[in-house]
Structures are given as C-alpha cells and as structure tokens.
A and B are shown apart, each in its own frame.
Chain A
Amino acid sequence: MTNINNINRSDFQYFPFHLVTPSPWPILLSFSLLTMAIGAVMYMHGYSNGGELLSTGFILTSFGMGLWFRDVIIEGTYLGDHTRQVQKGLQLGILLFIVSEVFAFLSVFWAFFHSSLSPAIEIGGVWPPQGITPLDPFAIPLLNTILLVSSGAFVTYGHHALIHGDRRGAILGMFLTILFAVIFTILQYYEYSEAAFTMSDSVYGSSFYASTGLHGLHVIVGTIFISVAFIRLINYHLTDTHHQGCEAAILYWHFVDVVWLFLFIAVYYWGGM
C-alpha cells in the first residue's frame, strides 16, 4: 500500500516546473516595505519617531528577505525543486533584474553628464565647479580599480574550478573575491571620510556621492551575495552542474565591476580633471 504521506515527486510529476507551496513572505515583506516607506516619509518630514520606524522597516525587510531566500535554498538544495527548466527561469529573472539595475545606473550617469558637459553659470561654468578639489584618480580610486578587476578574475577562477570539480580552487577563488571586496569597501569608506567636499557641495558633490554611493551599496550587496554562495559552497550545496545561485552572484559581481570601470573613467578621471 502506498503511503500518501511519503510522496516522491518524480514518481508522479510529469512536468519539470516547480509549483510553489503557500508562503507567508510575499504579504509579510509587502507590509515590511510599507513600514519602511512610512518611516522614510516621517523621517524626511521631521515627524517624531520616523527614524525608529524607518530602521524597523529596514530590519524587517532584510530579515524577511533572508528567511525567504532560506526557503528558496531549501527548495533548491534539499527538495530538488530546481530542475533544469526552473533554473532557466531563475536565470532569466536574474538577467532581467540586472537589466533594471543597468537603467538605474544609467539615470545616475545621465544626471552626472547633464551637469558636467555644460556646467551652469552658478558653479562658475567649469567642471569640476569652482572651489571643489576633486580626488586624485590615480591614488585610492586606481587601487580600488585594481582590487575590483582582480576580484572579478578570482571569481571567474572560482567558477571555473567549481565547474571542473576542483573544490579547493573554488573555495580559494571565492574567498579571495570576498577579501578584495571587503578591502574595496574599507578603502571607499576611508576615501569618503578624507574627501574635501561633501554631498551638499554643489552638483559635483551630489552627483559624485550619488553615483559612487549607489555603486558602493551594490558592492556591499554583491559581497553578501557572494558570501552566501561561499557558505553554500563550503556546505556542499553547490555541484559542478547545479549552482544557479552562485552563478547569479558571479553575474551580479561582474556587473558591479563593469559599473566601477565606467565610474572610474567618467566620474573620477574625466570628471576630476
């Protein structure tokens, strides 16, 4: 007699798709985002307790995302729900997400070029504006470029090692990627604290910190993304043929890498001359 409680999906499921089970995360995270949005409006308009509500909303959103991704990992690694067909869908989702990120950065670059290609008379008709001392592109920014490009090379090494079944190489490659990413963030923090201008110093300061800050935020998210892949690699979650999350992290990291090259050339080098 078949025990209905111990169903093996492949015994009776004749399609490769993943029919997800009911989950509390979409509704809970929607309300967490509402908390964050209301908190942000209150904070920016000077209402009392706005900052506390904004922080609560941020913690709820990130904690909830962590728990939701944990479920996705269970489905992929322990329940076998991520078939080839499902992996294709996930890959497409990540690609579309990165396309949306490209457009987010496009808008920031647009703002930068709008202000720098024909500088307004209020800032002296020159770029960088009068009174602004830009950062030397061949000091920390060049070092950061070398760090990010090297981390991109390490992550590719780690990926190829993983595909060829070289566990040691994969772990080493991913570890060095994370190490270089952390050093990049520390150097970026140091550069911000040493800079001679702030975000409120003309449109130069605004566009500089908006573009490099948005990128810095992406570096932090990418570092967390790769760290999750690294922990999963150590715990044998990833195989040579099945490592969709790791590939998504690698793709995201290359995107962050490419954006930095544009930032270095446009904002630091050309915009700082």
Chain B
Amino acid sequence: MLDAVVNRPNRVLERQKAIQSSHLPIYYRLPRSRLYLGTYFTMWTLGMVGTTYGIYSLAFGKPAPKE
C-alpha cells in the first residue's frame, strides 16, 4: 500500500505550467475554484443577512427570560 503512495505520479510540473500561464486571480486558478468560491460567497451573504438580523436583535430585541 505504501508503494502506491510513494510511487504515485508527480504532477507538479504540469500544474505549475497551467497555473503560471493563467491570468485569472490566484483564487480562481485551480480546478473547481468557481464551485468552492461560489459556495463560499453564497454562505457568506447568508451569514451577513444573519449578522444584520443579529445586531438588530441585540440592539432592540429581548433575550430569553432567565430561569
């Protein structure tokens, strides 16, 4: 099992060529970047809506009564 890991093909050179010839921003240069960043931006936007709601609740809302 260890042999398969030790002797796996080295793809660094071809990756270096692909990434160095790309003119996209760094965070879009690897494969599947759009998927990862799209997911992140969507979640981040939801988080911002939640944060705005949270700040409003803290300023004007009421916490649960203490038992």
Contact = CB atoms under 8 A, between A and B. Distances in A.
Nearest to A81: B26
B26 A31 contact: no
B30 A70 contact: yes
Contacts of B46: 56
Contact of A71 (B6, B27, B43): B27
Contacts of A28: 40, 44
Interface residues of B, number: 37
B26 A52 contact: no
Interface residues of A, number: 46
Given A35-B50, A42-B54, A78-B20, A56 B43 contact: yes
A141 to B, nearest CB: 32
Interface in B11-63: 11-12, 15-16, 19-21, 23, 25-27, 29-30, 36-37, 40, 43-44, 46-48, 50-51, 53-55, 57-58, 61, 63
A195 interface: no
B19 A79 contact: yes
A171 B25 contact: no
B47 A74 contact: no
Given A57-B47, A236-B10, A67 B40 contact: yes
B10 to A, nearest CB: 4
A55 to B, nearest CB: 10
B3 to A, nearest CB: 8
A23 B25 CA distance: 8
B29 A235 contact: no
Nearest to A50: B54
Contact of A23 (B27, B40, B58, B66): B27
Nearest to A57: B47
15 contacts: A6-B21, A28-B44, A31-B44, A35-B54, A39-B50, A39-B51, A41-B58, A46-B64, A47-B63, A49-B50, A56-B50, A78-B19, A168-B6, A172-B2, A235-B11
Given A63-B40, A236-B12, 4 more contacts: A34-B51, A35-B48, A42-B58, A53-B50
Interface of A: 5-6, 21-25, 28, 31-32, 34-35, 38-39, 41-42, 45-50, 52-53, 56-57, 59-60, 63-64, 67, 70-71, 74-75, 77-79, 167-168, 171-172, 234-237
